[in-house]
Structure 1
Amino acid sequence: MKEIKNTEKLILFEEITKSVKKIYRQNKDDEKKEKFLIYSFIKGNIDYEYDGEKIKKIIIEDSDEFPSFISQYGYGFSERSLNNFFRYKFNDNKIDTIILSESKTSTRQKSSLVLNYDDIELLLKLIRQEQRACDDTKKTLIKNLIVDIFPDVNFDYSETNNNKDLILRNLNDKLIAKLTANEIQALGEFYVKATQKFKAGHIIKKMTAGLMKNAQILSLQEIIIKYEKLLTENPAESEWQKFFDEYITLFDSRYVHKVNYKNIATGITKYPDLVLVDIYGYIDFYELKKSSTDLIQYDKSHKTWFWSKDVSMVIAQVSDYIQKSKENALPYAKTIKEETETDTEQGLEVNIINPRAIIVIGHTKQLDTEKKRNHFKNLRESLKDIEFVLYDELLERLKNLLASIQTSATLTPDNCPDDLPF
């Protein structure tokens, strides 16, 4: 073992055995002159000893040099807060090693955390920025106190926390939980002022679209949770009717109005569960059955599948809606306009031209063979102006819609995906 470096407080020693080179540290103030292993050069890596409560080793991969953020004398990360975190605050019992890499993406590998150099450098930049902002805030608070107590002293009052990056990083869910109603109102007023900075209409449109997207995401997340609960409970048709009546215009924006059909004479003896008007003024009838309703039955003599009794009845039912609405198209449209008219708004103009009926019913788990699926597909596509939507299909569409909105958060309003199509 030979001495390779002598500083004011330390002596470094080198020990070479076969293909491994080890570096030790000795404190000059240590009367026992104990030597502590700092790191070893092994197979192109630097194995760095670390005294964390959980992290015991740092491997500097594919290198014989230290990155700027690691101490060559065995004291871990150069940045104190980062070092303290991995030494004392990191408490995952399954992780004992950190691998530092210039080429690999930051990820987890079994009992190791791989950290890319660039990610650490960015983190250190943010920490330094935060520290500078904190120091600036402290100075400003001191100066403002002097101004408040001694107004004749030649200082100007300054606003604190004017660091843009610091403010933006703190706009998170934890902050929302701490805000009062007045503070939220102040944020809203700030947002209005901020939009006035931009004269270009497309920028304001984009910012507004972003807020609308976030609101839509929150609404869809709530709708999906309630929908999944109903699908599990398999409630009565009336419960599904309440759900669709409350939420369908939120998850299918084609529809802009629900018609209170029970106040409207249509010549129909039994009312559909929902009557919806789309953005073009066309009418759709919705009929809701239970998710457990049998879809098809087997005909042994012909070795084929046909509609179940319940489905046949609902097909006849919605066919009657469609036929009666066509026969009474003009008085139906007139009555809708009169019933939806208010003292401030004109009544709704609707088109009773080829109205559709959408039947929400059943579950794909009933179609557990390819033959069943094919026969159901053929039966489904044979109907004119009548569409079938299975409950789990709709749930999947809701989830896909949510995913597409989340994915398209950075898109402009002009090329965002459409809402859920039936």
Structure 2
Amino acid sequence: MKEQFQETKKLILFEEKVGDKKVVYRQHKEDEEKEFVKIYEQKGKDYFFDYDGQTIKQIELRDFEEIPYLFSSFGYGFSDNTVNSFFRYQFDDKRINKIIISEEIESKKVRKTLFLNLNDLSALISSTNQEQRACNDTKKILIKNFLVDIFPEIAFDYKETNNNKKLILRNLNQKLIDQLTADDIEKIGDFYVDASKKYKRADLVKRMTFGLQKNAQILTLQEIIAKYESLLKENPPESSWQKFFDEYITLFDTRYAHKINYKNIATGITKYPDLVLVDIYGYIDFYELKKSSTPLIQYDSSHKTWYWTKDVSMVIAQATDYLQKSKENAISYTKAIKEETETESEEGIDVNIINPRVIIVAGSTKELNTTKKLNHFKNLRESLKDIEFVLYDELLERLKNLLDKIKIK
């Protein structure tokens, strides 16, 4: 049985209990036939709205105490007319038929469903509201760019927008700085350098470029450190650490100029280092990465001493094998790397395989909780030839020290 529970100037709202669900309807006062139009079904904290888009037919609000302000509680879709119009009429990808909005789930595409994080959606609507005096085409561009950033597989062209000068200058404040990433700083720096050339101020360009480079370094290292600390807490598999080092090592260790995709090089071996890096002088280093929780040493009660665990012994043996094979096949390796890295416009990389090193990253100082353990580990580590053993939290301290040095400069 439908019961009235709300009335507006033009509408009367009714609700009906159906099992464990509540169904809400609207009725237009001017409708002579008094037709009930279903707005949504509610089950617990989830709301299910029918949507009359060209392809999107349902919008689900997941885990909300009440309907968020970004969405119409009367069944008309998104509260922002531009966003609503876009998803209703412009979004014609037939592979998408449903939207789920949530505060917890990250924005992503799963089969025929788009998951939109409420904060992402709120940021989108804020950006369109800033352009309220601009033409509707500009707003549509912002929405398309938002979708391209989060769902690159959707076929929309990314376009730059031309915001007015007053809007840009109004937003050049501390609040904006706090939100900028290293890439943002670099982009602004490039723009500034180009703009400064208009007035032939070489001294100003040089000074500002140096400042921008320093800020970009600081922001980059801060991002890297934050991700590194997050990984340390998660204790992920070795593949996650390999991905992290592959993406960031040339940013936080400026000794290295190149990464080599060793698996593409015909060296005749089947076991590869996790990373192969070339320093600024052309010398090669190999990296082997284990988990940050890898046990390092164990106690020999009969000799009252400590020795490497099985996992560490195996990775040291593997490192020794890399060093041996690279020395034995130095000429063929050098030639293969040069050929593999050659492009149409550039020659391949010349590398020097003379006394190469292997850097093993594994374990942490948490295990070395006594002076005796620490001293035995130090002796074991220093006994390795051409192998550098680095603990994960030691590397974190190196990153933090590097950040401090840049800030001081």
Task: Describe how 1:337-348 pairs up with structure 2 within 5 A.
Answer: 337-348=338-349
Q: 1:318–1:402: structure 2 CA closer, same or farther, 3 Å change rule?
A: same
Match of 2:312 in 1: 311
Q: Distance in 2 between matches of 1:298 and 1:257?
A: 40
The corresponding residue for 2:289 is 288
Structure 1 residue 253: deviation in Å? 1.2
Distance 1:356 1:206, change over 3 A: farther
Distance 2:246 2:391 in 1: 17
Separation (CA, whole Å) in 2 of partners of 1:397 and 1:186: 29
Distance in 2, matches of 1:339 and 1:187, equals: 34
Distance in 2 separating the partners of 1:248 and 1:188: 24
Match of 1:357 in 2: 358
CA distance in 2, matches of 1:326, 1:187: 44
In 2, Cα distance between the equivalents of 1:269 and 1:344? 31
RMSD over aligned CA atoms reads 2.8
| Structure 2 equivalent of residue 21 of structure 1 | none
Given candidates 191, 194, 212, the residue that maps to 1:192 is 194
Does the CA-based 8 Å contact 2:300-2:306 persist in structure 1?
A: yes
Specify the alignment match of 1:229 in structure 2: 230
- SS of aligned partner of 1:276: strand
Q: What does residue 394 of structure 1 align with?
A: 395
Give identity over the alignment, percent.
73
- Of the two, which has the highest radius of gyration? 1
Task: Give 5+ residue unaligned stretches, structure 2.
Answer: 1-165, 181-185
User: Following TM superposition, by how much is the alpha carbon of 1:406 offset from its aligned partner in structure 2, in angstroms?
Assistant: 1.4
Aligned-pair CA distance for 1:206: 4.3
Match of 2:300 in 1: 299
Partner of 1:260: 261
SS in 2 for 1:285: strand
Which residue number corresponds to residue 139 of structure 2? Answer: none
Cα pair distance change 1:335/1:399, threshold 3 Å: same
User: Could you report, residue by residue, the CA deviation over 1:237-264 in whole angstroms, capped at 9, with x for unpaired residues?
Assistant: 0111011111111111111111110011
Whole-angstrom CA distance in 1 between matches of 2:370 and 2:296: 14
> Counterpart of 1:238?
239
TM-score by length of 1: 0.52
Q: Any conservation in 2 of the 1:267–1:325 contact (CA below 8 Å)?
A: no
Alignment-derived partner of residue 380 in structure 1: 381
Cα contact 1:220–1:251 (8 A) shared by 2: yes
For residues 291 and 199 of structure 1, what CA distance do their matches in structure 2 show? 48
3-state SS of paired residue (1:266): coil
> What is the rounded CA distance, in whole Å, between the counterparts of 1:308 and 1:297 in structure 2?
6
Could you give the per-residue CA deviations for residues 179-230 of structure 1, whole angstroms, max 9, x where no partner exists? 9xxxx99996554343664446xx7544322211111111111111111111
Aligned length: 237
Residue 283 of structure 1, CA deviation: 0.4
Helix, strand or coil for the counterpart of 2:306? strand
SS in 1 for 2:354: strand
> Contact conserved, 2:193 with 2:209, CA < 8 A, in 1?
no
Distance in 2 (CA, whole Å) between partners of 1:248 and 1:382 is: 26
- 1:75-96 deviations in Å (ceiling 9; x for gaps): xxxxxxxxxxxxxxxxxxxxxx
Q: 1:18 — aligned with what?
A: none
Q: Does the CA contact (< 8 Å) of 1:284 and 1:358 recur in 2?
A: yes
Aligned-partner SS, 2:281: coil
Please tell me the residue identity of whatever aligns with 1:398.
L
**2:389 counterpart SS class:** strand
- TM-score for both structures, normalised by structure 2: 0.54
Matches within 5 A, 1:394-413: 394-408=395-409
Task: Give the 3-state SS of the residue equivalent to 2:342 in structure 1.
Answer: coil
Counterpart-to-counterpart distance in 1, 2:174 and 2:201: 27
Change (3 A) 1:185 1:287: closer
Maintained 8 Å contact 1:272/1:321: yes
Query: CA 1:187 to 1:314, structure 2 compared with 1: closer, same or farther past 3 Å?
Result: closer
* In 2: Cα distance, 1:397 partner to 1:204 partner: 32
Cα distance change on mapping 1:206 and 1:305 into 2, 3 Å: farther
Label 1:176 to 1:303 Cα distance change in 2 as closer, same or farther (>3 A): closer
| Structure 2 match to 1:209 | 210
SS at 1:271 equivalent? coil
Tell me, in whole angstroms, the C-alpha distance in 2 between the residues paired with 1:264 and 1:185.
35
CA distance in 1, matches of 2:178, 2:319: 48
Q: 1:372 to 1:335 in 2, by over 3 A?
A: same
